[in-house]
Amino acid sequence: MDKVFIIAWKEFVATVATKGFIFGMLFPPFLITIVILVLPLLINREPPKVFGHVAVIDQSGVVAPKLEEAFSAERVKERRAQRLATAVDQSTRAMGLDEKERKLAQQQVDQMSRASAAGPGEMLMPETNLELRVLASDTPVEEAREEILKATGREQRGEGDARLALIVIPKATVSGTGETTPAGRPQFASYEILTAPRLDVEVQGDIRSETSRAIVNARLENAGQDVEKIRGLMDAPQAQIKAVTPEGDRATNRVAQMLIPGAFLFLLWIAVFTSGQYLLTSTIEEKSSRVMEVLLSAVSPMQLMVGKIMGKGAVGFLILLLYGGTGIAALVFFAMTHMLVWQNLLYLAIYFLIAYTLIACLFASIGAAVNDINEAQSLMGPVMIILVIPMMLWMPILRNPNSMFAQVCSFVPLINPFIMVLRIAGSEPVPFWQIPASIAVGVLTVLFMCWAAAKIFRIGVLMYGKPPNFATLIRWVRMA
């Protein structure tokens, strides 16, 4: 057993003491910090400018005046500022910030927008210098749309008066078609917006939303309703969602509720795949350089395989601790530790041992069977599919962690550790019996994989020549 620990320690030190490993561990957090802090300073705050006019053929005769008011310079500027304030409010609410923190964030964004050449709100929508032109109601649509063919949507100041869009509003869009739906609601005709090919999508959206709003206001006025009163009654109320904790009620972070289960899955995946990749490459290198033969003169193939798996497993566990610790520190810093169930960390460690051992057995078998990394690629395909399956099932299982599909996947060998980590960190409690049952399935799978890997490793580690396929590996397991 001492020889196994010596091999494990050698494998661990040979990996973590390299500059590549240290750089690989520190570079991702450093890169994220750079993106968060430096990238906003490098982004050009000057938004693209849109120059031209929007033509309107209003066959109802009541919508065009409202559009003229909506696209006045004052109203456009007001909408930009309001859109920015709404985006900040929604994002801060999703992050679970309290009222004081939300106001502080809004003040900081306002200061940034005032300091920017773009002006308030223009960071979310390109600066527009659009003129609204009302055409005669009997203007042929084909004739009006010909002017759009001369525009691209990217005209600059002084490049002519381009027609960037054409709005065609039939009379039935406002007054109705005279027919009703089966539910008794009046039916209205649709309207058209024809745009230049490269007109900015945000500008298109602003034209669409303001035209629709003007049409609805015209309908309400035709029905003799108070437009402002109706609009006020239809405004959706803001809900303050709070989580009840022993320390008191806390604002719920909807973003974190989605990301924490994914963080558990990706943390497990990164730790398992990285350490398994180190195991594969080191095994292939030692075999191709004939170092393996020297090692086997002092230890048995079983001791060598177990030592290598343990050493690289310690590397994976170190990755798990470092990145997991960073995530926990972030939750503590943002006062969101109430969103983390601490016993899930224990389950994460258990499922890491199961998942790593399974993948390590596969990687050790492949590394011992081939002569170089190129030969390993053909055998790595099915293994990579196994590793990718949990990522493909992330969203369906996260949305419904206790569905029949999720429960069945929790007991499928090779992928069940990843599925269970995702489920236990989700929003719904997992039936307790499924946790030890899935662990038992994982342990049984580990025992089988270790037995099969030991046989393949013993034969393949000293075999050179043509690389085997999966059928040959199965024969090795049956005959050894």
Mean pLDDT score of the chain? 79
Q: Does residue 54 contact residue 213 with C-beta atoms inside 8 Å?
A: no
What is the spatial distance between Cα 449 and Cα 365, in angstroms, rounded to a whole number?
Answer: 10
Assign 456 a pLDDT band (cuts: 50, 70, 90): confident
Instruction: Cite the DSSP H helix spans in 242-296.
Output: 254-288, 291-296
Contacts of 239 (CB under 8 A, 6+ apart): none
Which residues does residue 51 pair with via DSSP β-bridges, in sequence order?
A: 129
pLDDT tens-place string over residues 386-395 = 778 888 887 8
3-state secondary structure of 57: strand
- Counted residue by residue, the chain has a size of 480
pLDDT tens-place string over residues 92-151 = 665 555 566 666 666 665 655 554 444 444 444 455 567 888 999 889 988 888 888 887
Exposed, middle or buried by CB within 10 Å (0-12, 13-18, 19+), for 34? Answer: exposed
- Whether residue 398 is predicted with pLDDT greater than 90 in this model: the reply is no
Residue 231 one-letter amino acid:
R
In this predicted structure, what is the pLDDT of residue 75?
A: 79
What is the spatial distance between Cα 76 and Cα 131, in angstroms, rounded to a whole number?
Answer: 11
Annotated domain spans of the chain: 49-241, 253-478
Closest to 369 in 3D by CA, of 467, 234, 290: 467
- Whether residue 341 is predicted with pLDDT greater than 80 in this model: the reply is no
Least confidently predicted of 38-52, 220-234, 378-392:
38-52
What is the spatial distance between Cα 367 and Cα 284, in angstroms, rounded to a whole number?
Answer: 5
pLDDT tens-place string over residues 33-86 = 676 566 555 554 455 577 788 899 999 889 989 888 888 877 777 777 777 777
Q: Does residue 282 contact residue 274 with C-beta atoms inside 8 Å?
A: no
- Whether residue 299 is predicted with pLDDT greater than 50 in this model: the reply is yes
Q: Does residue 389 contact residue 415 with C-beta atoms inside 8 Å?
A: yes
Assign 437 a pLDDT band (cuts: 50, 70, 90): very high
**Token duo for residue 192:** 């058209």
